Amino acid sequence: MNFSQHLATLKTQHLYRQTKITDACCVDFCSNDYLGLKNHPQVIKSFKQGVDKFGVGAGASHLINGHTTAHQQLEESLADYVGTQKTLNLYHQGV
């Protein structure tokens, strides 16, 4: 079976997926954007500030050289919020 035949089979079995783009306002329960923050202006602004300050990636695994000041600040802020010492490890590497 070639690729075209495979696609035709999927279509006849109603298993062929298509993206539908609509301008309708609706609540999206099927994405990972549960809180609807992906286009929130403050989130976008904060993201841009973070990119300017920290760059776009750690550059390595957390245990090698990828633990940045951003990670450290997040761990400390969460520990303060929870009311514990900084004992959190948010970036486990399976070791």
* 42-75 per-position pLDDT tens digit: 999 999 999 998 888 778 877 788 788 888 888 8
The confidence score (pLDDT) of residue 3 equals 92
Closest CA to 62 of 30, 85, 93: 93
Domain count, the chain: 1
Please report the pLDDT score of residue 49 as a whole number: 95
Q: What is the pLDDT of residue 78?
A: 87
84 close to 77: Cβ distance less than 8 angstroms:
no
Whether residue 3 lies inside any domain: the answer is: no
| Residue 32 located in a structural domain | no
Query: Mean pLDDT score of the chain, rounded to an integer?
Result: 83
Instruction: State the residue range of the domain holding 79.
Output: 39-95
The answer to whether position 45 is within a domain reads yes
- Local structure of 9: helix, strand or coil: helix
In a domain? residue 94: yes
Instruction: Let me know if residue 67 belongs to a domain.
Output: yes
> The tokens of 39 are what?
């286009």
Does the residue 75 lie in any domain?
yes
Q: Round to whole Å and give the CA distance between 88 and 78.
A: 8
Determine the 3-state secondary structure of 32 from DSSP: coil
Query: Would you say residue 12 has pLDDT above 60?
Result: yes
Asked if the structure places residue 53 within a domain, the reply is yes
Residue 8 belongs to a domain: no
